[in-house]
Amino acid sequence: MKKRIALSFLCISFLICNLKAQEIIPLYNKKIPNSISYPMKEVTLNWDGQFGGYKNISKPTLEIYLPVKAQSNGSAVIICPGGGYGMESYRLEGLNIAKTFINHGTAAFILKYRLPSDSIMPDKSIGPLQDAQQAIKLVRQQSAKWNIDPNKIGIMGFSAGGHLASTAGTHFDTCLVANRKHISIRPDFMILIYPVISTNEKLTHPGSMRNLLGANPTPEKLTFFSNELHVTDQTPPTYLTHTGDDKVVDVDNSIAFYEALRHHKVPSEMHLYPKGNHGFVLSIPAEEWMTPLFLWMKSNKWIN
């Protein structure tokens, strides 16, 4: 009996690891907003002989992973990989996570967002946010097609991707994409993994902010993108996780955001670990570190 269970687990694990996206679609059907016609060549990154991610992204896409229909719980998560706004760690903070979500009945959409660059955007600071807003709008608009409850669409981000996700969750009242049908671009929940949150020089990750805002951002830009300052009673419920010894993105980013959420009585949960440094979850099986996340999603009725 034990051998049969072990064999079944191995078969399921093999299938999950070899699942492929149902579809990869362009984020915009027509012209990409806030874009300059420039033939930037996208670069694929390889680490230790394996696909790792991308640089020089100028054509945003959504990579779609849908659970088996009979197992679908109706929820969906848009995943924003990290990489300091200079690259995107697509495999570790995208593909591996998407496959774990669909194993739990949640649809996953990996957002390959534009990376800020003056050569492809008139205003590079808003390019990633436009793509996140467009992704939320598109998933909500096509929810029936993908067997998704339009009221159970969350956004998830790692590191600088966490900054993007939290920007989408705190600036949904500033729509930066075409939206004639006034589809809500507010995520129903946020999942922030060792996120960059603040532009405060004592907290922020300088490289991420330099890539996003340039070397000499205006005070107005710094304020706009310091997301702990924009939490309101309408900010989506949030799940955060971080380590106390993170030497890349100070844990006080998560703590400051949680405090702002708490003061506005936004239902939120934070898991802090003493050690592990930045990217700590990448050395742990996703199924293991995501277990508390799935319990949080269940307690909030985003999954059954």
pLDDT tens-digit profile, the chain (304 residues): 433 333 333 333 434 445 567 899 999 998 999 999 888 899 999 988 999 999 999 999 999 999 999 999 999 999 999 999 999 999 999 999 999 999 999 999 999 999 999 999 999 999 999 999 999 999 999 999 999 999 999 999 999 999 999 999 999 999 999 999 999 999 999 999 999 999 999 999 999 999 999 999 999 999 999 999 999 999 999 999 999 999 999 999 999 999 999 999 999 999 999 999 999 998 899 999 999 999 999 999 999 8
Q: Tell me the Cα Rg of the chain.
A: 18
CA atoms within 13 A on the CB side of 277: 3
Q: Which residue has the tokens 């230790």?
A: 48
In this prediction the pTM is 0.93
How high is the pLDDT of residue 17? 43
SS3 133: helix
Which residues neighbour 206 within 8 Å (Cβ) at sequence distance 6 or greater?
Answer: none
Structural domains of the chain, ranges and CATH numbers in brackets: 22-299 (3.40.50.1820)
For residues 187 and 157, the answer to whether their CB atoms sit within 8 Å is: no
Q: What is the DSSP letter of 281?
A: G
Which residues neighbour 184 within 8 Å (Cβ) at sequence distance 6 or greater?
Answer: 136, 140, 172
Report d(CA 257, CA 176) in Å as an integer. 23
How high is the pLDDT of residue 19? 59
Closest by CA position to 237, among listed 178, 296, 158: 296
How high is the pLDDT of residue 6? 37
Buried b (16+ CB within 10 A) or exposed e, 85-119: bbbbbbbbbbbbbbbbbbbbbbbbbbbbbbbbbee
How high is the pLDDT of residue 22? 87
How high is the pLDDT of residue 263? 98
Report d(CA 89, CA 80) in Å as an integer. 9
Report d(CA 131, CA 116) in Å as an integer. 11
Report d(CA 77, CA 101) in Å as an integer. 8
Q: What is the DSSP letter of 32?
A: P
User: Could you give the C-alpha distances from 191 to 17, 43, 45, 183, in angstroms and in order?
Assistant: 23, 28, 25, 22
**Which DSSP helix (H) or strand (E) runs through 223?**
helix 219-224
How high is the pLDDT of residue 137? 98
